[in-house]
Amino acid sequence: MINRYAIFFLILFAFVSVSAAEDEMVERLEWKTFFDKHNATGTIVIDDGRGVSNKVSVYNSARASKRFSPASTFKIPHTLFALDAGVVKDEFQIFPWDGVIRSYEPHNQDQNLRSAMRHSALWVYETFAKALGEEKSRSYLNRISYGNMDPSTSSGAYWVEGQLTVSAVEQVNLLKKLYHNDLPFKTEHQRLVKDIMTVEAEKEWILRAKTGWQGRYGWWVGWVEWHSGPVFFALNIDTPNSWEDLYKREAITRDILASIGALPANTKK
């Protein structure tokens, strides 16, 4: 009987904790002006870890909970999978260019982990996926509870054209675990992934992030590290004008981060 009561209260406590966490998420309707400024439709989740307690803010909470293809933002966990499986040894390993001419010139050359992340070289990660196979990939996805955990695809990369999907809320949760080295991978591998995610750095802050584009919509996810704590973000927008809309991912996010003092204005080089 005691065990039964103990289980009941544990379940009740978990429910209350989850409900409290949901109550702490604040809808920021005023952020619509930043999306309107760039004529964009989308969502953003910001988890501000500066201060005593985290503050989670969201614009378009319905969309923030909706799952989309992660596209190249999946390179963040995918790199951890490849490192853990020994498909790639370290940041210095060279992946010889396959000779296929692609539309984005930086892809048409040998790559290492750092350049593959920076230039979002899809072909490098397709070699990782082939080496891992669907069964092992599914196992890794389940290990970190990533989105719908489905690596199946009829054609193309499963994180772009396949069945794998993830929400902006889930993206932020993953980033928080990575920041704290709390993912089920070696600490040195998590630190390496964070290092190759570095986009910009100044004396007081470091920006680590990754873009993603599925064709119909795009992502920018990451965080800004401050001495007072990290500020995590995940933005997802529609891209009906294809390449012409891609700049909006960073532009909107930077504007919103600047509005809350999480990133200086006009830092884009």
pTM score: 0.89
Question: What pLDDT is recorded for position 24?
Answer: 75
Q: What torsion, rounded to 10 degrees, do the Cα atoms 84, 87, 91, 96 define?
A: -170
Distance CA 241, CA 215 (A): 9
Residue 17 pLDDT exceeds 80:
no
Q: What is the CATH number of domain 26-259?
A: 3.40.710.10
Lowest mean pLDDT among 25-34, 44-53, 148-157, 259-268: 259-268
Average pLDDT in the chain: 91
Q: Confidence class of residue 266 from pLDDT cuts 50, 70 and 90?
A: low
Q: What is the pLDDT of residues 101-141, one digit of tens each?
A: 998 899 999 999 999 999 999 999 999 999 999 999 999 99
Distance CA 31, CA 13 (A): 33
Q: Confidence class of residue 267 from pLDDT cuts 50, 70 and 90?
A: low
Helix axes 75-85, 168-179, angle to 10 degrees: 50
Residue 217 pLDDT exceeds 50:
yes
Q: What is the pLDDT of residues 61-73, one digit of tens each?
A: 999 999 999 999 9
The catalytic site residues sit at 72
Distance CA 189, CA 178 (A): 10
